Amino acid sequence: MDEVLQVFLTFLRLGALSFGGGMANLPEMARVLMANGWVTRQEFADGFALGQFVPGPNMLAVVFYGLAAAGLPGALAALAGMFLPGALGAIWLVKGWQWMARSQWSRALRKALVPIAMGLSASMVLILVQVGVDAVGWLLGVVVAALLIHRGVPVVWVIGGGALLGLLVGLA
């Protein structure tokens, strides 16, 4: 199979399984990308960091992963594959929202997805620890940022301070 098509189909599957956000299936993404030899553990961690750094959806790391797998066409294929299922799902949900709001099964489905999303999020933290991201530091940073924003510190200052702190820690 053509490498670009394989990248697209891989990220299409990952995008279709992204209940609770793309980060919820980070463990599966790491497993698949490393098993295919597209990225190493360090490259996966670096891609994740880059995806968090740039503005936009937090899963823009897929551009980096697709680029590593199959160059620029791979980056575009990964981007399309990851975000196409969510975009189509959002269009479908907007069109069917009124009907679904009255439906008994949709309320049950929403309740059932909460523990699944929580479990997937917990597995994301575990995989970040495995690939070398300091999960405790990351969690502490989120808590401190939330407290600062709650106390009225402008979000721009919190983001800038976090970036500066991350740069200083990286240089140390």
Same domain, 72 and 126: yes
* Residue 135's pLDDT band (cuts 50, 70, 90): low
C-alpha–C-alpha distance, residues 98 and 110, integer Å: 15
Same domain, 148 and 84: no
The mean pLDDT of 8-28, rounded to a whole number, is 87
Predicted local confidence at residue 133, as pLDDT: 62
Question: pLDDT digit string (tens) for 44-97?
Answer: 988 988 888 888 887 899 999 999 999 999 999 999 999 999 999 888 888 887
Nearest to 57 by CA among 37, 30, 87: 87
Q: State how many domains the chain has.
A: 2
Q: Is the dihedral of CA 62, 37, 12, 17 positive or negative?
A: negative
Same domain, 99 and 145: no
- Are the C-beta atoms of 5 and 104 separated by less than 8 Å? no
Q: What is the pTM of this model?
A: 0.65
- Amino acid identity of residue 163, one-letter, is A
Range of the structural domain that residue 151 is part of: 134-172
C-alpha–C-alpha distance, residues 52 and 168, integer Å: 17
Same domain, 62 and 119: yes
Same domain, 24 and 106: yes
Same domain, 167 and 83: no
* Residue 21's pLDDT band (cuts 50, 70, 90): confident
Residue 17 predicted with pLDDT over 80: yes
